């Protein structure tokens, strides 16, 4: 932990290191998916859990950065800061996904070949807002929330968490937070125990087979 000046908060370098390790795990997990026999038999099994670590880390960072600012910051000001930080990345990601969309055409993504350009462009425009794409607009065949930028679902959940934090959760007492964490832990245990083969991957799709994980993550 270091301090750059008296006017800034301490910077936790260990969190940067953990963030880097988690990012490498997620990238390796997706690259090595091509060598798996099915989604339950991965080279890096449960590597997707590094995304959950990002959610936990983000929760800590948001609270650490903003908890003591609410006396001089409005909810609108908070959302403006978050939009400036996150939305440019969302838009750039969708544009890159659109530019390279048809280069992905393969048996892995069976719907690409039959997708007209106009439909892909509509999906891109919807993606700029980060609102989930309805299943009727699926253009890769995976029923993803964001077919042009698959990881966009995690930023969608990030926005939901930010809204809940700014409007409700920041006002909770320590006791209320403890109860919330306990209930969330119970929900996670229930999900892990009742899911087939302990599989808790999901959240990236509105398909009923995967959306139960989305509810648990929120």
How do residues 5-64 score in pLDDT, each as one tens digit?
445 788 889 999 999 999 999 888 878 876 777 767 778 878 888 998 999 999 999 999
In a domain, 8, yes or no: no
> How many domains, in total, are found in the chain?
1
In a domain, 91, yes or no: yes
pLDDT at position 161: 93
Quote the mean pLDDT of the chain. Answer: 86
pLDDT of 158 above 50: yes
pLDDT at position 194: 82
Average pLDDT value for residue range 101-106: 91
In a domain, 85, yes or no: yes
pLDDT at position 5: 42
In a domain, 2, yes or no: no
Q: How confident is the model at residue 188 (pLDDT cuts 50, 70, 90)?
A: confident
In a domain, 7, yes or no: no
Q: Which residue has the tokens 């607009």?
A: 137
Domain span holding position 210: 13-217
In a domain, 6, yes or no: no
Q: Is 56 exposed, middle or buried (0-12, 13-18, 19+ CB in 10 A)?
A: exposed
| Close Cβ partners of 139 (under 8 Å, ≥ 6 residues apart) | 101, 111, 112, 115, 119, 120, 123, 147, 148
pTM: 0.83
**Pick from 35-44, 91-100, 157-166, 172-181: least confident:** 35-44
| Tokens, residue 207 | 């398909």
Average pLDDT value for residue range 131-145: 90
In a domain, 163, yes or no: yes
**Top-confidence range, 43-47, 51-55, 166-170, 208-212:** 166-170
In a domain, 1, yes or no: no
Decide: 101 and 148 in contact? Cβ < 8 Å.
yes
**CA–CA distance, 27 with 37 (Å, rounded to integer):** 18
């Amino acid at each position: 932990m270091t301090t750059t000046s008296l006017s800034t908060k301490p910077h936790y370098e260990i969190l940067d290191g953990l963030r880097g390790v988690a990012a490498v795990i997620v990238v390796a997990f997706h690259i090595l998916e091509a060598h798996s026999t099915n989604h339950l038999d991965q080279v890096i099994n449960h590597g997707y859990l590094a995304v959950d670590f990002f959610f936990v880390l983000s929760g800590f960072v948001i609270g650490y950065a903003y908890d003591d600012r609410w006396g001089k910051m409005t909810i609108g000001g908070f959302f403006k800061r978050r939009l400036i930080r996150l939305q440019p990345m969302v838009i750039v990601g969708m544009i890159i996904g659109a530019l390279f969309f048809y280069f992905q055409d393969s048996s892995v993504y069976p719907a690409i070949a039959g997708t007209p350009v106009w439909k892909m462009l509509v999906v891109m425009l919807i993606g700029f807002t980060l609102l989930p794409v309805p299943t009727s607009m699926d253009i890769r065949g995976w029923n993803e929330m964001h077919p042009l930028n698959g990881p966009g679902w995690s930023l969608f959940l990030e926005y939901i968490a930010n809204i809940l934090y700014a409007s409700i959760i920041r006002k909770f007492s320590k006791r209320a937070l403890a109860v919330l964490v306990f209930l969330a832990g119970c929900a996670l245990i229930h999900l892990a125990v009742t899911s087939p083969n302990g599989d808790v991957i999901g959240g990236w799709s509105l398909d009923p087979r995967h959306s139960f994980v989305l509810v648990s993550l929120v």
